[in-house]
């Protein structure tokens, strides 16, 4: 499985945008980029995914570099409820269906 690299932790202030980076320099052409988050004492929650184009949904936006070797999850206005561990995961269509979780980025949101 292709590997992703994320910062261990980040901090943000409430109501400010947050940009969470992810490097995946060994990504293959059929790898999708998925983001999940895990709030304290809860199971992981799907956030967003994409292949090549930038994606938006009600939770966040995903910006994918043109060479696809990195991506950024964007929370447009952080709230205290966004404090969580954010995971960037590659998933290959036609490959193993399991998700391989790394350490993720622990996001702290300050009031």
Helices and strands: H and E segment counts in the chain: 0, 9
Closest CA to 36 of 77, 6, 2: 6
Q: Residues 70-89 vs other proteins: string with x where CB under 8 A? A: -------------------x
- Among 10, 44, 59, 108, which residue interacts with other proteins (rule: CB under 8 A)? 44
Report whether 74 contacts 61 (CB < 8 A). yes
Instruction: Confirm or reject binding of residue 57 to other proteins (CB under 8 A).
Output: no
Q: Which stretch binds other proteins (CB under 8 A): 6-14, 54-62, 66-74, 91-99?
A: 91-99
Instruction: Confirm or reject binding of residue 111 to other proteins (CB under 8 A).
Output: no
Q: Tell me the residue length of the chain.
A: 111
Rounded Cα gap, residues 100 and 7, in angstroms:
17
Instruction: Summarize as ranges the residues that interact with other proteins (CB under 8 A).
Output: 32, 34, 42-46, 49, 89, 91, 93, 96-104
């Amino acid at each position: 499985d292709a590997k992703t690299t994320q910062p261990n932790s980040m901090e943000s202030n409430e109501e400010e945008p947050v940009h969470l980076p992810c490097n995946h320099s060994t990504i293959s052409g059929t790898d999708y980029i998925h983001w999940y988050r895990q709030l304290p004492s809860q199971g992981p929650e799907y956030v967003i995914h994409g292949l090549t184009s930038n994606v938006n949904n009600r939770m966040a936006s995903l910006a994918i570099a043109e060479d696809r070797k990195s991506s950024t999850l964007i929370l447009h206005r952080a709230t205290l409820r966004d404090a969580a561990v954010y995971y960037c995961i590659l998933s290959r269509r036609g490959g193993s269906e399991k998700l391989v979780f790394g350490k993720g980025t622990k996001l702290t949101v300050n009031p």
